[in-house]
Each structure stands twice: as C-alpha cells, then as structure tokens.
Amino acid sequence: MIGSHSSPDIGTSCCSRDESEDSEPVRDNGSSTSSGAAKAPSRTSTVSKNSTPCIADIDTDWAGKAPDYLGKHKANEHGALHIDHFLALFPESLLEHIVCQTNLYAVQKGTENLLLTLPELKVFLGISLAMTYITYPRIRNYWSTGSGLRMDLVTDSIPVNHFEEIRRFLHFKDNSDTLSFQNNHVAGIGPVIAALNEAFCSAVDSEEYRSVDEMVIPFKRRSSIKQYLPSKPKRWGVKVRVRVGVSGYIHRLEVYQGETGG
C-alpha cells in the first residue's frame, strides 16, 4: 500500500525481476563492493575494559501527564473505489507529467510513434501492479496462447508489443537537464519523489507521535545506491529515510544516496 511502512520492489522498470542480487552493491558507508563476492561487513568491535559505556539517563519515576494532542489524525481523501485512493497519492498531474516525459524520451531515442496517452499509462501501471501478485518468468507469458498461462485481464487491455514499448521508454525527467543530474543519483525520479511527498502530507492530517527511521526497499538490479543493511529483514536494496507515524503511515521519504550522493 502506498504510504505504508512496507513498500514493494522498485527498479528502473516496473516489472524487471531477472537480475542477480549479487550485482555490484554499495555498502551503508557508500563504498563499492566487488560483484559476485559481496560479503556482510564485520560487526565485531573491540571495547576497552576500562571504558565506561554511555547510557542515557532514564527517568522511570515520572508520573506526569503528557499534553493533550490538539490535532486529529484522519484521512483527507475519501472515495468509493480503490482507484480514488490511488489517485490521491498518484495525482493525475503526476501521471500527465510521466506521459509527457515518456513521449519526449521516445522521440529523443528516434521513436516518434509511441504516442502514449494518459489512459494507456493507467492501464500500464495497473497491469504492472497485478504482475507483482501473479509472477511469471517472462513478461510475454501473460499474453500466452496457452490456457494455463494466459491472463485475459492483461491480454484484453493492451497488446504485448505496446506494453513492452511503454516499459522501454518509461521516463520521469528530461535527460537534457544535465545540471540536475550532477551528484544526484536519483534525479531521474526526482519529480516522482517530490510529488509523492506532497501527496503523502496532504492525504492525511499529521499524527501526534512520529519518528524518523530508515527502511529498505528490496532491490535486485544494478545500482550505485544499492545498500547492504544487515539489521533489516531485506538486507539488500535502496535505503530510504522516512518520517513515519505510529500508524505506520509514511509522511515523507528521502532516498539515501551514500556519502557522495546529492
């Protein structure tokens, strides 16, 4: 669910899941590891016998009353359909931006007949989400003529060739804006992150108790921002700093890019 403390896999493309998990990751300190031989960093440390551990004082005798929370945590978006809640977090303005940038990138690559439309993008995103629940080894299996593989929901919605074209040219930012890509490994999805953060904050009212923590979005493709965090259930992936409420709802996120990232 978008905005929750758990997130699905993300990648350069929506549906890729054929890359090895051992491909050139980056550790939590931003340094690279050799591909195919990545090992967990040692967690052994030496502590002097004469050293005194630093332990914060805890007041266990406090019996006061915390001040009342004057706000009210509630959702500001209501709708009868699931798509209404999805569009509250992925507004049409963002989808229209993706349509524009995808068509622009296709033209820049010499393909002028892609002509992606907003309804087609919605179909593409819906199918991509469905593919995360029912997984096949290859994308074209969903359009198979065999009765055991074919998914009418997919095949009746979009031709396989057009789906793969959209997947190939899907883009979120103009590559000619080279200045914004300097020292910023996530500039290509910057408009999406900015739109999501704005939507996350406006979709619900603020919660009384919040914390800043880190989470890992499991990720298997090659990436300069891929991290290894041994304390997480999914140890390899994209590290994200989040401001999250007690409900588990993410109010804001920021992708960690390593020590040299922007």
Among the listed residues 199, 15, 250, the one whose alpha carbon sits nearest the alpha carbon of residue 93: 199
Predicted confidence pLDDT, tens digits, the chain (262 residues): 444 444 444 444 444 444 444 444 444 554 444 444 444 444 444 444 444 444 444 445 656 665 555 556 566 666 678 888 888 888 899 999 999 999 999 999 999 999 999 999 999 999 999 998 999 999 999 999 887 888 989 999 999 999 999 999 999 998 888 777 777 788 888 899 999 999 888 888 878 888 998 888 888 888 878 888 888 888 888 888 999 888 888 889 998 887 765 5
Q: Residues 6 or more apart from 175 whose CB is under 8 A from it? A: 105, 108, 181, 188
Cα 9 to Cα 63: distance, rounded to the nearest angstrom: 44
What single DSSP character describes residue 26?
B
| Structure confidence at residue 81 (pLDDT) | 81
Beta bridge pairs of residue 210: 245
Angle between helices 118-131 and 92-108 (to 10 degrees): 100
Q: What is the dihedral of CA 75, 76, 78, 83, to 10 degrees?
A: -90
Helix (H, G, I), strand (E, B) or coil at 216: strand
Q: What is the pLDDT of residue 185?
A: 80
* 0.85 exceeded by pTM: no
For tokens 């500001």, the residue is: 76
Q: Which two tokens stand for residue 75?
A: 């959702």
What pLDDT, on the 0 to 100 scale, is given for residue 261?
58
**Token pair 């001040």 in the structure block, residue:** 67
The pLDDT of residue 176 is 84
Q: Which of 151, 136, 165 is nearest to 13 (CA)?
A: 165
Give the CA distances from residue 4 to residues 16, 89, 108, 200, 248, in Å, rounded to whole numbers and listed in that order.
23, 12, 36, 10, 6
Burial class (CB in 10 A: 0-12, 13-18, 19+), 170: buried
C-alpha to C-alpha distance for 41 and 24, rounded to whole angstroms: 15
Give the type of residue at 98.
I
Sign of the CA dihedral running 193, 198, 203, 205: positive
Task: Report how far Cα 231 is from the mean position of its chain's Cα atoms.
Answer: 20
User: Where does the chain have alpha helices with state H?
Assistant: 82-89, 92-108, 118-131, 152-155, 160-169, 190-203
pLDDT of residue 100: 96
